[in-house]
Each structure stands twice: as C-alpha cells, then as structure tokens.
Structure 1
Amino acid sequence: METEPAEFPEELADALVRIQRLVRRRLRGGLAGPRLRGAEVELLRLVEGRPGVRVSDAARALHLAGNSVSTLVNRLVREGYLIRETDPADRRAARLLLTEAAEKRLGDWRRRRAELVGRHVARLGPADREALRAALPALRELAVTLHEEADET
C-alpha cells in the first residue's frame, strides 16, 4: 500500500470539515421552523432511507448510544418530524417514520444545498470542476471505509 505524505490526510480532513461547516452555516439562514442539529438531520435522513427502522438499529447505524437516539427521537416527535410506532413484530420495540413536515423539510434542505454548492462549483474553472467530479468515486469509497471501520469498533 502506498503511503501518503503526512500532511495530505490532515489537509483532506480539514478541507472536508470546512466545506461541511460552511455549507451548514449558509443553509441555516432562511430555514422555517426550529434549527435541527446535525445528529437530528442524520437521524431524519436515515429514517428517510430506511422507513420503519427500529430505534436500536438507528443507534447502531449512526454509531450513537441508544439513549442518545431516544432523546433525539423524543425531540423530533415533539417537533412533528417523526412518528414513533410500536413494531408489530416486537411490541417492546419502536419503529420510526417521517412525517410530511420532515419530508418537506428534507426536500427543501436538499434543494437549497444543491443550489448553494452548484452556484459555487460553477464559479470554479473547468479543470477544478472536472477534478472534483473525478474525485467523487474516491470520496465515496473513503466514506465506505470510514463507515466499515466504525462498524468494527
């Protein structure tokens, strides 16, 4: 396996964190409703992709403690973004579903994020846009390997 210069992983991590932070900051303005924390949005996105997911499975998928996810679920139910229903296969477990308000909010967030990032990518030169496009498969694979390592711990 080829080793990278010591600075590269740090620079890559810094760039990714900075982009994420700036996108989040820019998207906060103009949001209707209460501000959602990162973990709350992650939970909503997980439920969107896996409707009916159990709270315990959501905790594992998000690498959070079960009681932390229960706290997030309680808040999101109160805010009208999640429906918690009893799992018919196991009456002790709860399944999670998005409300219409959550679907609308996630759709709006996704649209605004695509517009924001698209506007800024369009300001880059053709070579930089192509470099970003070419880097997408490697970034996706990096996310997979990071997720797999988290699953092992």
Structure 2
Amino acid sequence: MSETLPEELADTLVRIQRLIRRRLRGGMTLPRLRGAEVELLRLVEARPGIGISDAARALHLASNSVSTLVNQLVRDGFLLRETDPADRRAARLRLTEAAEKRLGDWRRRRAELVVRHVSLLDEADQEALRAALPALRKLAAGLHEEAEDG
C-alpha cells in the first residue's frame, strides 16, 4: 500500500462530503439542519421506533448529545417522541411528515448534484468510481465494526 494512500483517501472523502453539504446548503430556503441532525433523522427513518440509547450507540454519540438533538428536532417539528408501551420511562422516535418531506427533498437534491458532476467525468473515470464502490463499502463496514467494538 502506498504510504500516502490512507491520508489521500481520507482527505478526499472528507472533502467530497463537505462539498456536497455546502452545495446542498446553498439552495436551502429553510433553516438548515446540522449534519448530526440529518444523521439522526436518517437513522429514525431506517429504524422507526428506535430509542435514544440505541440511536446514540448507532451514531457513536453520547446519550445526552442525542437527547439534545432529539429535543431540538421535536421542537422544530421533525421528530415525534412516543412513550414505549413496554417501558414507560423510555421513548421511541418517529419521523413527522415534515421530516419525511425534508429528507426526501434532501435525497433528491443530493442525487441530482452527484449525477450532474459524475456525468461531467469521462467514461473511464465513471467506471473507476463504479469499480471502487465495493472496496469503499468494505472500508465503511470495517470502520463501523471497529467503532462498534471500541
């Protein structure tokens, strides 16, 4: 492995993510959601009824940090906090219609942005990106597993 590959890969992935967020923010008329808020909403979308402590573990955040995010998103009308019938002290999280609409819009705009820029690349570069996806998924899975263990 090249000595510079890990640093170049990490820097490039961070830069792409930052630029996507920045471009998507540019067209927003609504107050923007922070990255952690979007991550929490996407998690609740994928796992409706998830509890705060499970969400904290999945996001690798402290429970009190997730509680703060939940309070803000409930206040802003994006999350519903329901009492868990099995444990009255626990809360279950669900998206509101406003959150579903916002995530759908965000997903659509992100796809349009990436499609527009990938289509500017030549066929060889597009194929290289396609070929790199399985390795990038494995890298993400390995990083996720290490975070789970740590």
Assess same fold via TM > 0.5.
Answer: yes
For the aligned residue pairs, the C-alpha RMSD in angstroms reads 0.6
Whether 2:63 is the aligned partner of 1:66: answer yes
Which residue does the alignment assign to 1:48? 45
Number of residue pairs matched? 150
Report matched runs for 1:129-140 at 5 Å. Answer: 129-140=126-137
- Encode CA deviations 1:33-58: one digit per residue, 9 max, x unaligned: 22111100000000000000001100
Whether 2:15 is the aligned partner of 1:18: answer yes
Displacement, 1:32? 3.6
Q: Which runs of 5 or more structure 2 residues have no equivalent in the other structure?
A: none
Distance 1:31 1:93 in 2: 34
Whether 2:110 is the aligned partner of 1:102: answer no
Q: Which runs of 5 or more structure 1 residues have no equivalent in the other structure?
A: none
TM-score (norm 1): 0.96
Please tell me the residue identity of whatever aligns with 2:67.
S
TM-score (norm 2): 0.98
Distance 1:53 1:20 in 2: 26
Q: Which runs of 4+ in 1 moved over 2 A?
A: none
Which residue does the alignment assign to 1:113? 110
Distance 2:27 2:76 in 1: 18
Displacement, 1:63? 0.5
Distance 1:64 1:5 in 2: 32
Distance 2:3 2:125 in 1: 24
Which residue does the alignment assign to 2:85? 88
Sequence identity of aligned pairs in percent?
79
* DSSP-derived class of the 1:10 partner: helix
